[in-house]
Chains A and B, each alone.
Chain A
């Protein structure tokens, strides 16, 4: 029963007893146990990654009205393993004039920048690596390493297209980091903490997705931009720069970039779950009723969390496979003229309302927050509509066709 209620501490306690029984010192035991814990976490993330390859290929097939992998194993489940074998036995090419060390460092950094994010991802109340009090900022810091990996890989390849991809990625990441940071402050204000555990627990009654739907949308957009996935996949735009920053990589080095991207998308699905959908909890108080107390079991919580993360991953895939690529000037204009101001307005609104509505009963607080977001969203859409109409009018005046039409009418 103890194992079922607190598996990590149970195993750690058992191993501590075993190792000290062998005569190891206390400090040494701690180091060994931490090391094993980290290894297990990384292995879990990487094995999940193999599954994600299959999920991604199956889902994209459905979006494109195909069946997807279906030859090897039931539902093509063994396909990813065939992919891995193919990637491993491919020739490993280092282009002439490449910077060898940096060329090899690129893929390593790419996967590392994702895996360090798993250090703060709480799978359940009892299954987590570390509960940082600055977890939300840690998310942004890990993104910086991701940018670095792409720059290093793109530059070291000694290829114009790769370098162009790296340049585009920097423009993309530095811009979209700003609305991301601003919008990450909203769950922080609502939960009154930056720790992911406390943010999760603050949502046991009400998801932040309902308190601030606009924040969720802005976070989703900037997360997709940070992932470099379509519609923001300018760094690897096939039709313009072939494959962008990873054009020269072959075999497992390309595999690491690819696996890193998939795991990154899933991880951001996980953070969306933690920050806006209640993470492993968020059952609207259901878990306090005796009959539903099994919802507090760490394994049930982990399954709930992974399901929510998978939902976030699916939404990211859904957007990726249904949107055309955005042009680079549009991408920058969209960020600086639309997303950043909107994120700031939502942040100020949340900060003020969370103090103003604090005295109200719970339902008043929730309704006030929700409707303030709806009003901001409505005003934004109206402003966009007026702007679009003005643009169309200006274009209609310019075109010779309309001048002719007017002459005929006269």
Chain B
């Protein structure tokens, strides 16, 4: 086993374990923090795959902004912190079966790929992935259109948020 594989297995265990804890723990704030752990595991995976930019953005956006907003919202609902009801419904086996089927399908699909089982090629020296990504996002024969559409969408959301938040609704 190579070092990459060991790190991947540890990471996968971290992600799956924390994801399981998110849905099984009874304390809401613990669930939010387990979610942070799961997201952090994904960031490590990106780093192992030599996608440093994605790893850092994952931490900035998902942990720095989204998870912290989750925790903030959870902290404001102090009375509802401990959920005492049943954690499963009577028909839990149906989604479990569905999930298992999808997982089996995906595993067969991946095993069928020609790249399955090969080790990743070493990144050639001197390739600046960050620069390539930036150029791809703004070059007309690559992803400039989706990029701009997403920007306009976010701007609209921003304007909407400001309008909703501003008090003068007659």
Contacts and interface: CB of A to CB of B under 8 A. Distances in A.
A15 interface: no
A133 B63 contact: no
Contacts, number: 65
A137 B2 CA distance: 29
Contact of B63 (A99, A137, A148): A148
A147 B33 CA distance: 13
Contacts of B27: 99
Interface string B1-25: 0110000000000000000000000
A236 interface: no
A148 B65 CA distance: 10
Contacts of B63: 141, 144-145, 148
B67 to A, nearest CB: 8
A191 interface: no
Contacts of B129: 133
A99 B30 CA distance: 10
A355 to B, nearest CB: 14
Counting chain B residues whose Cβ lies within 8 A of the other chain, the interface size class is 20 to 34
A138 B56 contact: yes
Nearest to A171: B72
A143 interface: yes
B72 to A, nearest CB: 6
Q: Secondary structure at chain A's binding surface: helix, strand, loop or mixed? A: helix
Interface in B42-66: 52-53, 56-57, 59-60, 63-65
A143 B61 CA distance: 12
B117 to A, nearest CB: 21
A141 B56 contact: yes
Contacts of B67: 148
Interface residues of A, number: 26
B64 A194 contact: no
Interface in A148-171: 148, 151-152, 155, 163, 166-167, 170
Contact of A27 (B3, B59, B64): B3
A152 B129 CA distance: 35
Nearest to B129: A133
- 9 tightest Cβ-Cβ pairs between the two chains A and B: A144-B64, A141-B59, A137-B56, A134-B56, A141-B60, A134-B52, A141-B56, A134-B53, A144-B63
18 contacts: A27-B2, A99-B29, A102-B29, A133-B53, A133-B130, A137-B56, A140-B64, A141-B60, A144-B60, A144-B64, A144-B68, A147-B64, A148-B67, A148-B71, A151-B75, A152-B33, A155-B29, A166-B75
Given A144-B64, A147-B68, 10 more contacts: A27-B3, A99-B29, A102-B29, A132-B52, A137-B53, A137-B60, A141-B63, A148-B63, A151-B72, A163-B75
